[in-house]
Amino acid sequence: MRNLAVIPARGGSKRISKKNIKLFHGKPIISWVIEMSLETDFFDHVIVSTDSEEIAQISRSFGAQTPFVRPKSISDDNTSVFEVVRHAINYFNEKNQIFDLVTLIYPTAPFAEKTDIKRAINSINDYDFSISVTLFPYPIQRALKVDDDTDTVSMVEKHNFLKRSQDLPSRYHDAGQFVVGKTKSWQEKTPLIEGKTLPIIVPRIRVQDIDEDEDWQEAEAKFSFIRDYNIKNKRF
């Protein structure tokens, strides 16, 4: 089964300047997922889809391929990952290189592990996609909302006010690490959510959304903790 890994990394990050290549524990953050992907035997090609020559050069230095420059038309804030993946698929189709699966791996996911991606690939079977998810740290059914006019708080779901947290069902969110999908599903714009998508549950400690400087600091702290824990317990 032929599998293409696509790492989308445009150059126009807004909130964190040059986020995709900012140093994270001594290396550009994108390098962590490139090296992880290349260490596996899952992928026939590991490519970075970017509109930035600086990102392309750094990606190549860590072993990824950059076979094309991503067009400006799919390099703005409104571009979906589906468009990026379909562009990559079409590029290879024109060269008569056909893939059964395409795995999207986010460039700012240094906690992504090949064991999770392997589970996603091996389990996809009758599903269209396999996606990394993680458990919300607190029951979202007990979420509060703030009224900006009165500066008061109230429950979003008032009927859950008297329910114990342990009696509420678990809820998950996208872990922002990877999506494994059948090529046909990517091409046909099959719904990623609400469709036939298999969740690959990732521990919360290995999940961090990175959009602000505070998120970055938290991610680096988590990374240090996990690294030290693994060394102490001889998990390499």
Domains present along the chain, CATH in parentheses:
3-136+171-232 (3.90.550.10), 138-169 (no CATH)
DSSP per residue, 69-116: BPPGGGSSTT--HHHHHHHHHHHHHHTT---SEEEEE-TT-TT--HHH
Q: What is the pLDDT of residues 3-57, one digit of tens each?
A: 999 999 999 787 898 999 999 999 999 999 999 999 999 999 999 999 999 999 9
> If pLDDT is split at 50, 70 and 90, which confidence band does 236 have?
very low
CA distance 206 to 184: 30
pLDDT category at 187 given cuts 50, 70, 90 is very high
Give the chain's length.
236
| Average per-residue pLDDT for the chain | 94
Angle at which helix 114-123 crosses helix 29-39, to 10 degrees, equals 50
- The predicted model gives 189-207 an average pLDDT of 94
Is beta strand 172-182 parallel, antiparallel or unpaired with respect to 152-155? unpaired
CA 62, 67, 73 angle in degrees (round to 5)? 115
CB-based contact 54:11 (threshold 8 Å): yes
- How far apart, in whole angstroms, are the C-alpha atoms of residue 179 and residue 198? 10
**Helical packing angle, 53-61 and 29-39, nearest 10°:** 40
pLDDT, average across residues 177-200: 95
Q: What are the tokens at 71?
A: 């067009």
Asked whether residue 80 carries a pLDDT value surpassing 60, the answer given is: yes
Burial of 145 (0-12, 13-18, 19+ CB in 10 A): exposed
Residue 202 one-letter amino acid = V
pLDDT band at 61 (very low <50, low <70, confident <90, very high): very high
